[in-house]
Chains A and B, each alone.
Chain A
Amino acid sequence: MAIWLTEHEHAVVAAAADRVIPPVGGHPGGGALGVADFIDSLLGAFVFDPPRIWAGGPFSGRAGGTASFDEFLPLNSLEELAWRTRIEGSKGMVERERNGAVIGWQQQYRNGIAALGRDFCDISGREQDARLNGDPAFKNLLYTHACEGAYGAPEYGGNREMRGWGAIQYQGDVQPRGYTDREVEGRE
């Protein structure tokens, strides 16, 4: 289910995520980890109220306590201005152009995905890499978000079933259980 991306765009982002974070060995790769869902919920963050920018706290429930990460926290009006500008761009609005115009992530993705070509999902990995390398700025944006999606808390839409953390032997959030003194001090 796409939020802001079209079905096709979603598929392109998933395929591209597998090029920047390829499945290798025990690592599921960016596609299977739901990087496209993560990016889609970032681009569509303001479809929700509160927007899906800051997950709640203090605990996810994975290490005890009551689960509250999925209750996203509200933004104040200035924070909303900043995040809408980042995501939607300044679109000529005075209050968003204080220190210059901003091209939003939505437009960067729409243009960047279009430039990868209609057939992006059907071509070879090597060809996909060549096309991604054709636009280093977009590749860099996508890679940064892919890293966030693969290894951020699953409440943001990626890191499906915490397999991103599992692949790298990382426990993720651990409050309120924390680590015992032995787990801190000892060799593994």
Chain B
Amino acid sequence: MTDTDCDAVVVGTGPAGATCAEVLTAAGWSVIMLEKGRNHLLSLDAPFNPLGHVSNDELKLVFRHFLGPDPWLEPRTFRSSEDDGDRIYTGDVNNLPSTVGGGGMHADGKVPRFREIDFRLASELGPVDGADVVDWPLDYDELEPYYAEAERVVGVAGDAAVNPYAAWRSGPYPMPPGPDMFCAVLTSEAATRLGYHPYRAPTAVNSVEYDGRPACNNCGFCGYFGCPIDAKGDPVAPLRHALRTGRCEIRPESYVTEVLLDETGRRARGVRYVGVDGTVHELSARHVILGAGAFETPRLLLRSEIGNSDVVGRFLMYHFQTFALGVFPFRLHAHRGRSVTHLMDDPIIPDADAQAAARGAGLPWMRGGIVEHGGASHPITEAIHLPPGEDHTRLMMASPMRDRMAAFTMQGEDLPQATNRIDLDPSVTDAWGLPAGRVTYRPHRHELVCAQHWAPRLETVMKEAGARHTFWATSPPLPEQEARRRAANPSPMSRHVMGTARMGDDPRTSVCDRWQRLHDVENVLVADSSVFPTSAGYGPTLTIVALAIRAARALADLEPLRSQRPTGS
């Protein structure tokens, strides 16, 4: 018997928190999940059916902050360096949904695994001036069975045979891939003709009925929307599994303001949180698990004054995004389907050209990221990008952006730099009166050189696919576009946020240990991508889930999962 309210309190209900809740409740623990945002995902009463609030509604989901956070209630601030002063922008900075389900609601769920080398950059490739490239305190072989388990839990559809660069796998994907989007077939066939290696993306979207949830029906309101029929599995699947044990309670609209320590200062006794009506509550727990996302977790650590104060919030990484866009002379209807159905890893595996470009720029090496083959947006998004007047009407009817544009997004690896960080803004506050999170971020030369190398090559693929006009852009913009960058929102568009409570074996240079527990407060575990030591060029979510399974199992003293590398792979 314990005298705490629960065995574990989990902060945040996104993929990280939901995964821990599933593992711990299955191990017999009682778990209370505190979520700052509202619940629009699933009924909290058995059988935990969808609430039916999310819909194919561009206005509500994309423009009216339905899944939160409302940037007026929860502003964040941005500057590119200390030279900018306190901030140059206040508003939406890398906002992911703040709601039961977290960013998993918006994500369109491309979930590739990392490769072996991604865990060993320092050993395999060596240092880069001005960056702090390190190895992870675990390797791919150790994580492989957790990747396999993650794919089973959230339900991933994919084909193990199609990516020649993929790391070894102990088994197939749980589901076959879903249908290919027309535009992605055009661009991936063109890429193949030019010697690249595109493949059907592993996606956390049901291609067949799976785990009691239906197959995706290709509605196309996928990235930036929630799924009205629950065909996206992460994190509704783990949340529902946890709730079904009867040992999990989810409390929405509960904003954790502080992790509370006991008198020793080395153990947490629980958390303090505020309800939407302003009432303050305390919850006691044997363990505190932080899955608030790599932006809010360091903010909470900083507010609570725990974690290695020299490192918390530092080494903030995104993916440096390079967009190559092509406008086609015919309609592509890319608003049908799962937003992105093909990927290619080629820029991650440097060829002779890329190596020469790196050396020419004085870099020892350079790595890009996966290229997502997608397109499309919805009509309000297209409309507001067009000028008012007759051009508006003419262009909306021809639809160069929504219906004729294919898009490559390269999620380029972002090198860790100590000066890139999240801290607390000195004067801007949120609706609860707490200091806003502030980003200080400037890309390393590596990212800029890499984007400039790959962008024209990706444009060439677009042309080969039949695009009549092509162009490219990056987020954040390149330095020569600095003037434009000052005009609108200057913060990176990336929704992949990592590194702000990095894990490692040395308590002086990291915040968490290899089991993701704080070095200085032993019963606090960080479950999200804050712990990533490097960013790799892949979407982070499957790795978040795999790591969370591993860390939560270790916490509950469960046997480590093991897997067998097939011979010959």
A interface residues with partner B (beta carbon < 8 Å): 19-27, 29, 53-60, 68-69, 73, 76-79, 81-82, 85-86, 98-99, 129, 139, 143-144, 146-148, 150-153, 156, 164-165, 167-170, 172-181, 183-188
Q: Does B375 contact A (CB under 8 A)?
A: no
Give min CB distance, A37 to chain B, whole Å: 14
Residues of A within 8 Å of B221, CB to CB, are 173, 175
Which of B55-63, B166-174, B239-247, B479-487 forms contacts with chain A? B55-63
Q: Mark B379-401, 1 if CB is under 8 A from A, else 0.
A: 11001100011101110110100
Question: By the criterion CB–CB under 8 Å, are B380 and A147 in contact?
Answer: yes
- State the CA gap A31–B445 with chains docked (Å): 50
- Chain A residue nearest in CB terms to B333: A188
Are B218 and A184 in contact, CB atoms less than 8 angstroms apart? yes
A72 nearest in chain B by CB position:
B60
Q: How far is the CA of A168 from the CA of B55 in the complex (A)?
A: 21
Determine whether B155 belongs to the interface, using a CB cutoff of 8 Å to chain A: no
Contact A60-B380, Cβ < 8 Å, known A25-B397, A76-B38, A188-B331: no
Please indicate which of the listed interface residues B179, B181, B379 has the most CB atoms of chain A within 10 Å of its own CB. B379
Q: How far is the CA of A148 from the CA of B63 in the complex (A)?
A: 9
Decide: A148 near B59, CB < 8 A? Known: A20-B389, A25-B393, A82-B73: yes
The answer to whether B218 and A183 have CB atoms under 8 Å apart is yes
With A22-B390, A151-B383 given, is the CB distance from A185 to B185 under 8 Å?
A: yes
Give the 9 A-B residue pairs with the shortest CB-CB distance, closest first: A178-B217, A57-B55, A173-B56, A147-B383, A20-B388, A151-B379, A181-B179, A58-B228, A152-B59
- Most A CB within 10 A of own CB, among B38, B59, B333: B59
A58: chain B residues within 8 A (beta carbon): 50, 52-55, 228-229
Q: Can you list 16 A-B contacts with CB-CB less than 8 angstroms, sorted by A residue number?
A: A20-B388, A27-B396, A54-B64, A82-B72, A99-B75, A151-B58, A151-B396, A152-B58, A153-B59, A167-B396, A168-B396, A168-B403, A174-B220, A178-B216, A179-B337, A183-B333
Further contacts, 18 of them, CB under 8 A, given A21-B392, A59-B228, A187-B330 = A19-B389, A22-B393, A24-B394, A24-B397, A54-B60, A55-B59, A55-B60, A56-B55, A57-B55, A82-B70, A139-B388, A144-B384, A151-B383, A152-B58, A152-B380, A173-B221, A184-B182, A185-B185
CA–CA, A29 to B394, complex, Å? 11
| Residues of B near any A CB (own CB < 8 A) | 38, 50, 52-60, 63-66, 70, 72-73, 75, 90, 179-182, 185, 216-221, 228-229, 253, 276-277, 330-331, 333, 335-337, 378-380, 383-384, 388-390, 392-394, 396-397, 399, 402-403, 428-429, 431, 433
- The answer to whether B384 touches A85, judged by C-beta atoms less than 8 angstroms apart, is no
Contact assessment for A53 and B64 in the assembled complex, using a CB-CB cutoff below 8 Å: yes
Q: Chain B contacts of A54 at CB under 8 A?
A: 60, 64, 66
Quote the shortest CB–CB distance from B165 to chain A (angstroms). Answer: 25
State whether B380 touches A169 (Cβ < 8 A): no
Of B59, B66, B253, B336, the residue contacting A184 (CB under 8 A) is B336
Contacts of B63 in A (CB 8 A): 148
Of B55, B73, B219, the most chain A CB neighbours within 10 A belong to B55
Q: Is the CB of A175 within 8 A of B229?
A: yes
Q: What residues on A are CB-neighbors of B64 within 8 Å? A: 53-54
Q: Smallest distance from the beta carbon of B433 to chain A beta carbons, Å?
A: 8
Asked whether A27 lies within 8 Å of B393 as measured between CB atoms, the reply is: yes
Q: Which residues of A contact B380 (CB under 8 A)?
A: 147-148, 151-152
A20-B388, A148-B59, A179-B218 given; A57·B393 CB < 8 A: no
A183 and B393 CA atoms in complex are apart in Å by 26
Query: Does A183 contact B336, Cβ atoms closer than 8 Å?
Result: yes
Partner of A180, one of B218, B390, B433: B218
With contacts A57-B228, A99-B428 taken as known, whether A178 is within 8 angstroms of B181 at the C-beta atoms is: no
> A69 and B57 in contact (CB under 8 A), knowing A57-B52, A58-B50, A178-B219?
yes
CB neighbours of A21 from chain B (8 A): 388, 392-393
**Set of chain B residues within 8 Å of A68, measured between Cβ atoms:** 52
Q: Which residues of B contact A185 (CB under 8 A)?
A: 179-182, 185
Is B56 a contact of A175 with CB atoms below 8 Å?
Answer: yes
Contact among A153, A170, A184 for B181, CB-based, below 8 A: A184
CA A113 to CA B228, docked complex, whole Å: 39
B59 touches A156 (CB 8 A): yes
Measured in the bound complex, the distance between the Cα atoms of B331 and A173 in whole Å is 19
Which chain B residue shows the least CB distance to A187?
B182
Given contacts A69-B57, A170-B402, A185-B182, whether A175 and B383 have CB atoms under 8 Å apart is no
